[in-house]
Chains A and B, each alone.
Chain A
Amino acid sequence: MSEYAFEMKDIVKDFGEVHAVKDGCFSLGKGEIHSLIGENGTGKSTMMKLLYGIYDLTSGEILIGGENPGKLTPKKSISLGIGMVHQEFMLVDELTVLENIILGFEPRNGLLIDFPQARKEVRRFIDQYGLDVQLDKRVNQISVGEAQRVEIIKVLMRGADTIILDEPTAVLTPQETEGLFRILRNIKADGKSIVFISHKLNEVMTISDRISVMRQGRHIGTVEKERTTKEDLATMMIGREVLMNIRTAETSPGEPVLRIEELWTSGEKEMSKIRGVSFEIRSGEILGVAGVDGNGQSELVEAITGLRPVERGSVFLEGRDISRLSPGKKRKAGLAHIPENRNTRGLNRSFSIMENLISSQLDERFSRHHIVDTAAADAYSADLAEAYDIRPRDPRMSTSSLSGGNAQKVVVAREVSVGSKVLIASQPTRGVDIGAIESIRNTLEDVKRRGAAILLVSADLEEILSLSDRIIVMHEGRITGELDKKSANETDLGILMMGGKRTYE
């Protein structure tokens, strides 16, 4: 028998043109807790989904218990003792916890489900690992932490001795996280092995035996916990190379244009509520917002742009309180917005390029007695297609078939060409090709040179570092620190992103 629960070597996984994993490598020792860390979109989850048989390998080798299992499917992986707790729980809200746990392999008593027997079996796991759950509550009545424990019981009941937890703490409060760690230690003490995916360095340093770092689809290194520090891990995660050719503009920022005061909003999740955020951006300045996804950045952008109600606090544009204006009125007041999701917000995919380019200025600029001024719209969109290199060049084409980069260029062209005083750019280069990244970043620099105030939210730290004049870091809906261009470095950012304090100063 192998000393490893499983090994993955030279893993490559392509999704069409996208290389999700370029050079993956991971091995899990028996009875070990091995963390897999990295920024969003670096291929961590993809690696584990390959192991679990959700995706097929493009190339590479997977050994389970020292043997090649052949083509993997979730069913096969489960039979080989691998269990996965997904980021999104897969529970039936209307059923009870007990019913959810036994769903799919109910113990039977003739035609009936043998609930007493099921209850007895589940109790065994609850007692052995301290997996405290209320078996008779319906799933929609229990907390997220408890739902996660239900998922873990499900995995254990199906006989897993290798358990993969995909960002399990992303949805937990610190107290719940501690509880989860106690459970994980109990499971480990029982001789089972655990893969822990995360990007929170504190947690990783608490729970792991070994830590593997991935960056941009590559395995960067594997270290023993005892021989590393948070700072080292942060540097490994973020890397140092800057590959872009950006014409950064040295401008001297002018008057404050956008001011946020004590802003509070609701959040998609508990940790993404905005809790009293304040900052200002001056003309000719890019303020970067760094942070792990889901710490309130999206909510902040939505609140500023009018897409999410402001609960408390204010947004001022050149001294005018615009906090409670509609998105349309905010646009008229001088706010432009590149949204994080171009498919749902940024574009109407069933409209043409031209229709998408004019939609924000329909009444102001492209309406003649309430009739769409097609001639003006055509000329305008032909100009923009040329200026922003949108391909295909025919603005009458539908946007449904545009590539990610060209689709994003349409969004950027529409937002930037209005000449607004404030530009909110959220993940402006997410999921676009290198060429488009460079052109979009140069556009942002041009907008800054023109004297606009820019709020740049990005999960890509390299982007934040290369474009921003100042950087604020968000963690759980609050600003945990502010750095300026000169003193900002990856390590400090990494620590602030994890909610920590700066170690020196």
Chain B
Amino acid sequence: MNNPLGKNFALLEAGRRLFYILLLSLAVGALFILLIKENPLRSYVALFRGAFRGKLNFGNTLANFTPLMLTALAFAVGAKGGAFNVGVEGEVFLGGLVAAYIGIHWTFLPKILHLAACFLGAMAAAALWALIPGLLKAYYRVSEVCSTILLNYVAYNITSYFVTGPMSAGVANAQSLPVADQVRLHQFLRPSSANVGIVVAALVTLATIWLLRKTTFGFKIRAIGTNPLHAEYVGINPKTMLVKAMVLSGVLGGIAGAVEILGVHGYYLDNFAAGVGFNGMLVSLIVKNNLILVPVMAFILGALKSGALGLQQATDVPKSIVDTITAIFIIVGTMEGLFQVSRKKRNKKSEA
């Protein structure tokens, strides 16, 4: 793991694999495009232009990429600790809500403190939210998959209540009042919604990678995620570490929520994060929770999403073809995962 050569080699392998998966998915996608009697090459050119050509398109790619990178990271951190956290979406909703609340009301704070309060509040709320399934799994063996799926609905309904009730701006849409200007994240590449949240996301990603690789905390999370029995035996408490991994996952989800609210919308918009948590999970699954490849894959998926609009406008290909490509991505990605598991099992057998 820490061997520089070994690490780079493994990364190279994983990167190459990702490239093959991308090619294969595009190839299968091309078949579908042929089926509806369109030109795949022309379609892909349109897709590419839709993702990268012009300020608006490229900006939207970046704007899509930012929250995806964070939610994928949130899922991957949980997975490193052995938890399959489907609840990132709920964390994003609640984190966003708290960021919006503080952004609207705590205007007595100076700019920097106010901004920090928005983020810290979002992180705390989402962390507490992730604490629930963490504790349930660690101490009552409740499947975190079930509890987080269900908690997502609860989180959505809580935020929906606030934004239609106590926090409603009283306009036709279910949305809050705008946050104070001083906590808005600077936007660039207008009229896209790209914003400096991308810098926040990049720094957070680097910090998370460092945390997991270099610190004793990261060591322990990796230990319980790969072999909880061994971890328990050497004196690492798998239960508390699992809870901590979930909390860290929540913190990352909360940051994603805050970035979306303060960077993209400027107010809390009902259902603003629909699919963001889920897509982040897919990103992480495709790259098998490899933290270095998470940003790469998040970027690819972000580009596909924003390219889909261009594709639909320039050709008669529906943008759902992009969803098809994404789906194939996931199928191939997880298939490779299956191969890996069976190889591990074989090794174990021959060793015994």
Interface residues of B in 209-250 (CB under 8 A from A): 214-217, 219-220, 222-223, 226-227, 229-237
A307 CA / B226 CA spacing, docked (Å): 18
State whether the Cβ of A434 lies closer than 8 Å to any Cβ in chain B: no
Interface residues of A in 307-353 (CB under 8 A from B): 307, 326-329, 331-332, 337, 339, 343-352
Once A16-B350, A351-B1, A372-B215 are accepted as A-B contacts, the answer to whether A326 and B235 lie under 8 Å apart by CB is: yes
Which A residues lie within 8 Å of B214 (CB)? 371-372
State whether the Cβ of A256 lies closer than 8 Å to any Cβ in chain B: no
Interface of B is mostly: helix
Count: A-B pairs, CB below 8 Å: 91
A351 CA / B213 CA spacing, docked (Å): 12
Which B residues lie within 8 Å of A367 (CB)? 216
Once A355-B1, A362-B216, A404-B351 are accepted as A-B contacts, the answer to whether A328 and B226 lie under 8 Å apart by CB is: no
Give the A interface residue count (CB, 8 A).
Answer: 42
A366 CA / B216 CA spacing, docked (Å): 8
B233 in complex: contacting residue of A346, A351, A401, CB < 8 Å: A346
B231 in complex: contacting residue of A348, A397, A431, CB < 8 Å: A348
Once A16-B350, A362-B216, A370-B217 are accepted as A-B contacts, the answer to whether A352 and B1 lie under 8 Å apart by CB is: yes
Q: Is the CB of A328 within 8 A of B235?
A: yes
The size bracket of the interface on B is 20 to 34
Which A residues lie within 8 Å of B217 (CB)? 370
Q: Is the CB of A350 within 8 A of B233?
A: no
State whether the Cβ of A119 lies closer than 8 Å to any Cβ in chain B: no
State whether the Cβ of A400 lies closer than 8 Å to any Cβ in chain B: yes
A359 in complex: contacting residue of B3, B215, B234, B352, CB < 8 Å: B234
Q: Is the CB of B216 within 8 A of A396?
A: no
State whether the Cβ of B110 lies closer than 8 Å to any Cβ in chain A: no
Whose C-beta in chain A lies nearest to the C-beta of B6? A396
Q: Is the CB of B216 within 8 A of A371?
A: yes
State whether the Cβ of A363 lies closer than 8 Å to any Cβ in chain B: yes
Min distance, Cβ A258 to any Cβ of chain B, angstroms: 18
Q: Is the CB of B236 within 8 A of A348?
A: no
State whether the Cβ of B348 lies closer than 8 Å to any Cβ in chain A: yes
State whether the Cβ of B342 lies closer than 8 Å to any Cβ in chain A: no
State whether the Cβ of A360 lies closer than 8 Å to any Cβ in chain B: yes
Once A337-B233, A404-B351 are accepted as A-B contacts, the answer to whether A359 and B216 lie under 8 Å apart by CB is: no
Min distance, Cβ A468 to any Cβ of chain B, angstroms: 24
Interface residues of A in 360-395 (CB under 8 A from B): 360, 362-363, 366-367, 370-372, 374
B223 in complex: contacting residue of A339, A359, A370, CB < 8 Å: A359
Q: Is the CB of B223 within 8 A of A348?
A: yes
Min distance, Cβ B11 to any Cβ of chain A, angstroms: 15
Q: 10 other contacts beyond A396-B2, A403-B351, with CB at 8 A cut-off? A: A327-B232, A348-B223, A351-B1, A362-B236, A371-B214, A371-B216, A372-B216, A400-B347, A404-B351, A431-B352
* A interface residues (Cβ-Cβ under 8 A, vs B): 16, 305, 307, 326-329, 331-332, 337, 339, 343-352, 354-355, 359-360, 362-363, 366-367, 370-372, 374, 396-398, 400-401, 403-404, 407, 431
* B interface residues (Cβ-Cβ under 8 A, vs A): 1-3, 6, 214-217, 219-220, 222-223, 226-227, 229-237, 344, 347-348, 350-352
Could you write out 16 A-B pairs with CB less than 8 Å apart?
A326-B235, A326-B237, A327-B235, A343-B351, A346-B230, A346-B233, A348-B226, A350-B227, A355-B219, A360-B235, A370-B216, A371-B214, A372-B214, A397-B3, A400-B344, A407-B351
